[in-house]
Amino acid sequence: MEITIFGSLVLISFLLISNPFKVNQKANLYLGLFTLLWSTFWFEELVIVANEALLVRDHPILSFINFLVPIPFYISVRYFTNPNYLLTKRCLRYLVLPLVYILVLIVPENEFVNMEVLKIALLFIHIFYYLTASYFLLRSHQLRIKQFASNTIEINLNWLEYIIAVVLSLSLMTLGFNIIFQEDSLNFFMDAVILLLVFFFAYNSMRQKEVFPLDEYTRKEILDADTDYGAIPKRKVISDERLLELKSMLKQLMMSNEPYLESDLTLSALAKQLGITSNQLSYVINHGFDANFYAYINTFRIDKAKQVLSDKKYDHLSIVGVAFESGFSSKTSFNTIFKKMTGLTPSEYKKKGSHL
């Protein structure tokens, strides 16, 4: 099982770094580096199987490489959630804890401090810090993408949150187990769970689409957009008179052209139809309608779905058919948003309407 995990991670690393589809390039580069470093946790097992005489267990260099694993993962999340992120001199602080860890590795065992426990504790602190920091970046990302995308399923990066949750759970369990039962091993159970995690990681990393628009200007507008749309705007992008004018134009466009029926409608695409910039449209929706782009567009889609569900000429359509007819790209997102906005599932709404 160890060889399978090691080989899988090395293969995934190669695919992510080579990035044949050229998507999320910087993020995938560091994600590939992360998987390569992650594979070193099973390198010693591979060497032992190949040559029992060659002992590499707990080798300082290998232990140090293991310790570095969370850093490229965090940097990858940084690039996934902000493709304009820059590695500067300030990023040297990422090396502070690794340098402390080196000192612990080279300090000889003594009767005052249990060095093994200290190493495990430092490793856990390091993992916990970067994974929780990554988690909060991903949560902020959920708000940002709703400012420019009407369908967030393929760019919400939820799979990375699931990986963080599993790794943190395994780390906590391992920390407690190793402190209490230092001579025992969780290898088989851990390897089985991690192998499943590796398969999940491989599937989602390979199918992850480009998160942000490739156009630099549009991307910068999105990244600079104010996600706190309920608050007083930091600056007026347009005058109050122009805001009222654009609100009216947007309402007319939504009613006449029904652009929300395009399942992949984006902020920039709708802005082009209005003849304004993405930043201006974001301002109109945020401060003119007190909503983000995602909520604004999906309100129209849900209203359309209600019409379809209530109209007998559409009785031949399945729930999936109603979803597509209303501008949704999947049954899952349709059911979730419909239930959130109406308090009923589409099937319940249709059944309730048939009794009126």
DSSP string, 83-99: TT----GGGGGGGHHHH
Q: Tell me, yes or no, whether 174 lies in a domain.
A: yes
At 23 the pLDDT is 94
- Same domain for 280 and 318: yes
Number of domains composing the chain? 2
Q: Tell me, yes or no, whether 222 lies in a domain.
A: no
- Same domain for 238 and 348: yes
- Residue 308 CA to residue 144 CA, distance in Å, equals 31
Last residue of a domain, one of 207, 241, 265: 207
At 108 the pLDDT is 76
At 228 the pLDDT is 60
- Same domain for 198 and 110: yes
- Same domain for 257 and 109: no
Q: Could you tell me the pTM of the whole model?
A: 0.88
- Same domain for 142 and 264: no
- Residue 19 CA to residue 29 CA, distance in Å, equals 8
- Same domain for 193 and 306: no
Instruction: Write out the residue range of the structural domain in which residue 303 sits.
Output: 227-354
Print pLDDT tens along the chain (356 aa): 778 889 999 999 999 999 998 999 999 999 999 999 999 888 876 766 666 544 555 678 888 998 999 999 999 999 999 999 999 999 999 999 999 999 888 887 766 667 777 888 888 899 999 999 999 999 999 989 999 999 999 999 999 999 999 988 887 776 665 555 554 455 667 788 889 999 999 999 999 999 998 888 888 878 876 666 555 556 778 899 999 999 999 999 999 999 999 999 999 999 999 999 998 999 999 999 999 999 999 999 999 999 999 988 988 999 999 999 999 999 999 999 999 999 999 999 988 876 54
- Token output for 231: 């608050």
Residue at 162: amino acid letter: Y
Last residue of a domain, one of 207, 236, 265: 207
Burial (CB count within 10 angstroms: exposed 0-12, middle 13-18, buried 19+), residue 48: middle
- Same domain for 239 and 188: no
At 338 the pLDDT is 95
β-bridge partners, 266: 149
Q: Tell me, yes or no, whether 213 lies in a domain.
A: no
At 53 the pLDDT is 47
Q: Tell me, yes or no, whether 7 lies in a domain.
A: yes
- Same domain for 100 and 44: yes
State the DSSP code for 329: S
Which CATH number fits the domain that encloses residue 331? 1.10.10.60
